[in-house]
Structure formats: structure tokens, C-alpha cells
Structure 1
């Protein structure tokens, strides 16, 4: 039994050192993935408008500046390719309560164009709306990929859903 004490102690100490080193490398990797103060993302998805009972292709771009580990503030813009094309822009307040989870709230300005078949008349209008949403980002290095779901309400109500691909810097 005495002959086994030294190898067991050596094995225990070496495993402890390896575990500590792996934990340190893991925390460095995690802090690198989530320590970016700036994040820009491209959104690709669809918008279902409940007032018009239609679903349209949507692309967007958003930027976020992380104030702290929990909070960020950003800008967003989207184009909804419907019969009457819409452009949305807003200032978003972002919360990151859990690893990868993103909750947003944003007042929006909606610019829309309506084309009438009678002649070449174009009717332009703007309105205010509000967005609440959630998403989850999977990080690979400085890149992020994840689903996003937003609910917009104002003049109309719409559900916006799709995939965001981003880059932290």
C-alpha cells in the first residue's frame, strides 16, 4: 500500500494542475467570445404582418455597443419587401441576462411606400412603432450565429423572425 501512495499523490496533483489549466484556458476563451464591446449583425428572415395577413422577406442590419456585461445600446435597420415596401429604423436597448441570450426593446420609426396601380402615384408615410424581441447567439470566436424573434406593434402588428449572423470587435 505504501508503494501506491506516491503514484496516487502524483496522479492527483497532475490531474489537479491539468484541470486548473483547462479552466483558465476555458475562461480566457469565454471572455474573448463575449468581451467584444462592439457587435454588428446581418439579419435574414421574414415578417408576418397580422393586420395585412401577409408574410414578406426581410433583411436587416444592427449594431450594438456593450455598456456592461449585462446591457448594451444599439441601432437597427430593416427592409421588409412587401407589396408596400417598408423600412424600419430604431434605437435598441439590449439586455444579456444569460450566456448567449439577448432581449431587446426598441422604439421604431417605420417608413413605408405604397404604389398605386392607377398611374405612377407613390404614397409615402411614416409612423411610430415599438419592438420587443429575443434571440440567442452561438459564438465561434468573434463570429455569432443565432435565431431572433421580434414582435412589433404600432399602426400594425407584426412578428419578425429569422437568423442573425454577426461579428464582435
Structure 2
């Protein structure tokens, strides 16, 4: 029997998406995660950040659930590169408010790329990360509603 939990956040970049959750309670460093794969012609979105529990996990086409992002301003270009390469998550869900580095990169990719953008919802609250687990099915709606369906 499925258990459905519903959360309401702020739609930073609107859209609908669904897919399996990939979850970390650590800050997400897009530069460390994607720099190697984004500019190498790689066809997978494998996390290369040795300091994150998602190291080695393919984040492509998943719903990435994080507290916030961390790292350098180079992340903006990295987000654009993974979207262009088709190896990006379907959505990024932030427990906390989205930061300026992630917002800049995600906005660039959302408006300047002709590929599927990364949907972004923030302000989901710390309880969100306690309620979602790797592999849970997640549905994201353009009004900021997020449904977590766990088995």
C-alpha cells in the first residue's frame, strides 16, 4: 500500500515533473558534481562529488531533493551544460530557500536552452527531507505542490 505525503513550496521555476527521488541532506555542490561530466561529452549525470552521499549515483531524470546548494559561481554554467547534454535532473526540490548561484544557473538553463529545463521548487521545509527517501516516486506541480509516494 502506498503512502502519499504532500508538501507545498514556492515554484522558483515552474513546471510539472515526476520521477524517482534522489535525496541528500548535505549541501549540493553542482560544480563538484557535474564539472567532469558536463564538459566531457558524457551521456550520464553521475554525481562526481566525493563529499556527497550521492557520489556515483546517476542523477539524470530524477527528482533531486536537497537542503540547499553550495559551491562556486561556476555552478551556473554547469547547470546549463547538464541541461544541454540531456543529463540533468527533472526537478530540484530545495528544503530551504534557493540560493543565488543555483537560481542563476537554473534560470539560464530554463530560458536559454531548448532542452527540457530543470524545474525548481524551494521552501519545502526541513521535514520534507525527512519524509522522502531514495527511490520514492515524486510528483512536482507548477503551483509548488510536491507529492511523495512511498511504498
TM-score between both structures, scaled by the size of structure 1: 0.24
Larger Rg: 1
TM-score, normalised to structure 2, is: 0.26
Q: RCO higher in 1 or 2 (8 Å CA, sep ≥ 6)?
A: 2
* Structure with more strand by fraction: 1
